[in-house]
Amino acid sequence: MKDEPPPPLSVSLREALRRFTYSSLQAFNRIRLPGPTVLPIAGAVVGLYSGLAAGIFSNLIGLVSGITFSAAWLDDALRRPGSRTLLSVWDALAKAQWHPEHAIIGVPLVAGALLLARIIEPGGPRDEVKRRLRLLALLVLGALALYYPLVALTALNRAFGNAHHVTETLPHLPWWIFLVAPPLGGMLVGRLLRDYPETHGHGLPEVVRAVKSNQELPGERGLLKLIASAITIGSGGSAGREGPIVYGGAAFASTVGRILGFSRRELAVLLACGAGAGISASFNAPIAGAVFAMEIILREFELRVFSPIILASVAGTLVSRGTMGAAPMINDRLGYELVSGWEVICYVGLGLLCGLLAYAFVRLLHNAEDFFGGRVEGQMSAWLGRRSLPLRAGIGGLCAGVLAFLSPTVWGSGHDYINLAAIGQLSFVFLVTACGVKLVATAITLGSGGSGGTFFPSAVMGAMVGGAFGTLVHYFFPHSTGPSGAYAIVGMGGAVAALTRGPLTGMMMLYELSANHAIILPLMVTCTIASALCHYLTERKAPKTQTDAELLATTPVRALMRELAPVPADMHLRPLMDQVLTTESGTLPVLDGDGKLYGIVQVDQFRDIWRDEVLHPMLVASDLARKVPLLSPDTDLAQALRLMDQEDVDALPVQGTPGSQTCGLLTRALVRRFLSTRHARQHAHGEHPVATTEATN
C-alpha cells in the first residue's frame, strides 16, 4: 500500500494556527484578575486622570484669572485687533506638547484589552475578569479622549493671556480689582460649598482620614472641590493648588476602586495612588509624589505598594507635562552649593525658623476657623458665626484683597515669586513683609470658608523666610555662606516638611524641583529639624483630649455591636442570599454543625455563584462560611480593628451569652460612625481633632 502524500504546507499552517488559537482561547478563559494583580494597572489609570485633573484645574484657574484680568486685555484687543488673536493662537498650538506617542501606544493597548474581554467566555469568575478588563480599557480610552482637547485648551489659555504671570500683571491692575474680585470669588465659593459641607477643608486631611477609616470619597465631591478652589485662587484668594488636586485624584481613585471591587486594603493603596499622582502632576516631581503618597497618606514603605504608586506618579507626570508644561518650577540658574562646613550651622538655624513658622501657621489657621465660626469670645466672632457661609467667605476675600496691597504674594498661590527669591532678586524688606502677610492672608482665606490647600502657601512662606534669613547670614558671613537664593530653596523644603511632618517629602520635592544635587545636604538638615520642631510644638500645645487611638483602646466591643440571630449551617443558598442582602452590613454570623458560632458569610461571596442556579440547591451556609476569629464582648475596639485588618474583612462575630439565641456582630462601619460622631461633637465645642489640617497629619 502506497504511503499517502504529506498534506500541503498551507494546510499544515492552517491546522497549527487553529490549534494555537484554540489553546490561546482556553488560556484566556482561565485568566483571573485578583485585586493585587490588577492594582498596578489601576494605579496607572488613576495616575492618568490625576494628571488630567491637574491640567483641568490649572486651566480653570487660568480662566478665572483671565476673567479677573480681562479689562486690560480687552482694551488692548479692541485697539489692536489681531495682535493677540490668530497669530498667537497658531503659535501657541504649534508649541503645545501634543505627545502623539500617547495615542500610538494607548490605542492598541485599549483595542487589545477590549478584544481579550470579548473573546473570554462568560460565566463564573470570568465575568469579573471581563468586567475589569473592559472598565480599565474604557478608562484609558477616556483619558486619551480628554488629553488632546485639554492640551489645545491649555494652548488657547496661553494665547489669550489667561495663564498670567502675576509678577507682570498685578502692578498694572486698577486698585478696585483688589477690593472687588476676592470678595466676589469668596461669596461664590461659599455659595457653592454651603449645601455640601462635606467638601469643606483643605483636601489632604480628608484623604488621610478616608484612608485610615475606610471612608468613601465620591467623585462628584472631587470635581466640586476643584471648581471651588479654582475660583478662590483665580479671583485672588490666598490658597494652594495641591490640596484640591490631591482630593480630586483620591476621589476618582475611590470611585474606580469601588467599581472594580477592590478590598479595603487595596482601596487604601489606590487612594494613595491618586493623591501621589496629584502631587507629581502639580509639581512635575514624580519621585516626590510617590514619597508623599507613602510617607503622608499611607505612612508605610512596603514593597507591595511601590509598583502601583510609582506607576501612578509616572503616569500623572507624563500627562501633566502636556497639559501644564514641562518647565521646572524652580529655575536654579546659579547652581548653589554648600560653601563650607560651617554653613551647616546656618541651615540648622533655618530649620528651627521653618519649624516655628509652620507651627505659627497651624495655630493661626485654627484660630481663624474658630473666629469666623463664632467660637471665639467677643462680639465680632459671635456676629460672624451667625452669618451665612457666602458672607463669611466674602469678608475673608475682602481681607485678602486688602492685604494684597501690602504684598503681591497674597494674590493666588504666589508661586511666581518663588523663582525671584531663588535667584536673589527680592529685597530683605519685601521677603519679610511677604512672609508675614502671606501667613495672615492664607489663614483668613481658608478660615473664613475659602477653598484651597495649605501646602503651597507654606512653601511660598518658606521661600520668603529662607531668602530673608539667607540675606542676613550672607551679609555677615559673605565668604563662608551661599547667596540668599540657596536659603530660599532650602527654606521652601523646610516649611513643607514641617507643615506635613514629612521630612522625606520636603527633601525629595525640593531636590527634584531644583535639580541640584549639591542642595541635598542642606535640605536634609533643615527638613529634619523643621519637621521635628513643629511636631513637638504641635503635640505639646495640643489640647489634652482623648485621641481616637485611646478611645478605641478603652471602648469595649459590647458598646457598638449589633445583636442578631446567626444562620444555621444547613441553610440553603437562596434563603441565605435573601437574608444577607437585607442586612445593613451585608454580613451574617454562621453556626457550625454543632450549633457553635463558626464564622461569617458576606455578600461579596455570592458574586461568582449567584447566576449559576444549578448550585443553589447544592450549597448551604457552611459551604460558604469563612472562619474568622471570634470576638469577646469585652475586647476593645482597637484589638477588633487589628483582627479585621489581619483577616482583611469588614466585620467580625461576637460571642453571645451562654444559652442565648443571638450573638453580636461588629462592623468597621459602626466604628467609623462612632468616631465621626465624636469628631462632630468635638468640632461643635470648638476642639480640633487630629488631622483637621494638613499640618496635623
d(C-alpha 369, C-alpha 210), whole Å: 22
What is the crossing angle of helices 503-514 and 484-500, to 10°? 150
Structure confidence by residue, pLDDT tens digits, 458-511:
999 999 999 999 999 988 888 888 888 889 999 999 999 999 888 998 898 888
Residue 334 has pLDDT above 60, yes or no: no
Residue 32 has pLDDT above 60, yes or no: no
- H or E segment and range at residue 626: strand 626-627
| Rg value, the chain, Cα | 29
Q: Which of helix, strand or coil describes residue 572?
A: strand
d(C-alpha 289, C-alpha 297), whole Å: 11
Mean pLDDT of 228-248: 88
Q: Which of helix, strand or coil describes residue 385?
A: helix
Across-strand partners of 240? 453
Structure confidence by residue, pLDDT tens digits, 518-561:
888 899 999 999 999 998 888 776 555 556 777 788 888 888 88
Residues with Cβ within 8 Å of 532's Cβ and at least 6 positions away in sequence, in order, are: 355
Decide if 323 contacts 151 (C-beta within 8 A).
yes
Decide if 258 contacts 34 (C-beta within 8 A).
no
Range from 94-98, 248-252, 307-311, 673-677 carrying the lowest mean pLDDT = 94-98
Please calculate the CA angle 153-159-165 and round it to the nearest 5 degrees.
100
Mean pLDDT of 668-681: 77
Q: Kindly give the residue spans of alpha helices, DSSP state H, lying in 284-427.
A: 286-292, 306-323, 343-372, 379-386, 389-406, 416-422
- Say how many CA atoms lie within 13 Å of 500 toward its Cβ: 35
The DSSP letter of residue 545 is P
